[in-house]
Amino acid sequence: MTTLIETIRAARVWDSRGRPTVEAEVRLSGGATGRAIAPAGASRGSREAVDLRDGGERLGGMGVTRALKAVDEVIAPLLAGRDAADQAGCDAAMRAADGTATLSHLGGNAVVAVSLALSHAVAAARGMPLWAHLADVTGREALVPLPEIQIFGGGAHAGRRIDIQDLMVMVPGADSLDEALEVTAEIYRAGGAIMEAKGRLHGVADEGGWWPDFASNEEALETLCEAIHKAGEVPGGRVVLSLDIAASEFGKDGRYRLALDDHEMAGAEFATLLSRWCRDYHIAAIEDPLAEDDRTGTIAFTRAEGDRLQIIGDDYLVTDAALIKAAVRDGACNAALIKVNQNGTLSGALEAEQAAHAAGWGRIVSARSGESEDVSIVHIATGLGTGQLKVGSIARSERGAKWNECLRIARDGVAYAGGRALGNTWWGKA
């Protein structure tokens, strides 16, 4: 098996929002190739890796000519002849060449596409799927993940029509991935039917969930529970709710303003509201309940609710091992969202995931709002046995590609994580 890097090239492709992004192709001297496409986020933590965009008026400033140039003129010569199997070494070399904490010189989009393509190329050279390669090099048990699926979009993914960013469901009570997806599809269909009957069906948001048209944030929660009932399920039975609050989008300096409700409140009042929602609406997981700058509030909320809720850090942790270790020491959060492009490299994301794993935290591998047919995150979640995957809704092909890849891997005999991925935060009763 030869895994020396022969060539790396980049190309402009398009994401699910009709914006350009970077695809990297790595060819090894033995003939194996790997490709990967960089995703892009809309709701972003201030400390995450940043995309290199062209600016100006063309394509709304979102062009990637500069990022492609970074791959062709800097990254490709830098890595030529190196061993692609040394993922950490190659990623470190790119970080050193960039020289910034957020990869702003070469571009997080350029670096992450190459980083992921390296792993695909090595897996191809070994004659195995990426999930199997990752399970082998990390020593983890491969598991097909429990889906976390958006029914209603919001926040930055839906023109800020409601403040809550993602209203999702999980089906930890399902016996198989296929069953979990079928139940979720019925809930999704019911949610659309309810919106249509009320004259509020206006298409879908960035990640495929129904476009929100609600008078209040709480009406959105009520409607999701109504959809679960309409689908023949019971909230808090084998189906539970999950929220991404994305509080950094509307919270700052300990104050939170829900624009839809026309209400501003201090962090303690907001946390009390979230706690009530979690109890009233059978919510088992909540992401970024407080803003990324609200360390005190996040610690307090975790202390109050961490025994019964999965409290997930996204903007708060930005897939950074050092931040996760600090949060563990603080007692802030009990689960980490893992976004490879948020970190900028695969090896950095794996370090972050390992830090959460070592602490006994939940780990949820996540897509972004700007996605493509790339299924790398499915293989990462499966190979590391994280147990959970969040890719948006069950609609739109860039989302479906990932759920369908999960189904293929399950058909190959990989065990399904199911409800055990939630540990004791899922009570499993109506």
Contact 375, 401 (CB under 8 A): yes
Burial pattern 101-139, b for ≥16 Cβ within 10 A else e, equals ebbeebbbbbbbbbbbbbbbbbbbbbeebbbbbbbebbe
| pLDDT tens readout for residues 65-112 | 999 999 999 999 999 999 999 999 999 999 999 999 999 999 999 999
Determine the pLDDT at residue 393. 97
CA separation (Å) from 351 to 36, 325, 345, 356, 393? Answer: 20, 11, 10, 9, 28
Strands 335-338 vs 362-366: parallel, antiparallel or unpaired: parallel
Determine the pLDDT at residue 425. 66
Q: What is the mean pLDDT of residues 328-336?
A: 98
CATH 3.20.20.120 domain residues, the chain: 138-425
Q: What is the mean pLDDT of residues 269-297?
A: 96
Closest CA to 149 of 198, 191, 116, 200: 191
The pair of structure tokens assigned to 64 is: 């990637």
Residue 327: strand, helix, or coil: helix
Q: How far is it, in rounded angstroms, from Cα 306 to Cα 300? A: 10
Sheet containing strand 33-37, strands side by side: 5-14, 20-28, 33-37
Asked if 207 is an active-site residue, the reply is yes
Query: Which are the contacts of 317, defined by CB distance < 8 A and separation ≥ 6?
Result: 323, 324, 327, 333, 336, 337, 352
Determine the pLDDT at residue 41. 83
CATH 3.30.390.10 domain residues, the chain: 5-127
Strand partners, 239: 235
Query: Which are the contacts of 226, defined by CB distance < 8 A and separation ≥ 6?
Result: 190, 194
| pLDDT tens readout for residues 344-383 | 999 999 999 999 999 999 999 999 999 999 999 999 999 9
| pLDDT tens readout for residues 210-263 | 988 899 999 999 999 999 999 999 999 999 999 999 999 999 899 999 998 899
Q: How far is it, in rounded angstroms, from Cα 348 to Cα 123? A: 18
Domain 5-127 has CATH 3.30.1330.10: no
Determine the pLDDT at residue 429. 42
Q: How far is it, in rounded angstroms, from Cα 383 to Cα 63? A: 33
Which of 48, 148, 207, 233 is flagged as catalytic? 207
Q: How far is it, in rounded angstroms, from Cα 167 to Cα 183? A: 16
Q: How far is it, in rounded angstroms, from Cα 246 to Cα 187? A: 23
Asked if 398 is an active-site residue, the reply is no
Which of 48, 287, 305, 339 is flagged as catalytic? 339
- DSSP assignment of 224-243: HHHHHHHTT--BTTTBEEEE
- Assign 56 a pLDDT band (cuts: 50, 70, 90): very high
Answer with the residue of higher pLDDT: 424 or 59: 59
Determine the pLDDT at residue 338. 98
- Give the predicted TM-score (pTM) of the model: 0.96
Whether 427 shows a pLDDT value over 90: the answer reads no
Closest CA to 5 of 23, 24, 32: 32
The pair of structure tokens assigned to 344 is: 């900028």
Domain 138-425 has CATH 3.20.20.120: yes
| pLDDT tens readout for residues 126-171 | 999 999 999 999 999 999 999 999 999 987 655 667 899 999 999 9
Max Cα–Cα distance, the chain, nearest Å: 62
Residue 21: strand, helix, or coil: strand
**Rounded mean pLDDT of the chain?**
95
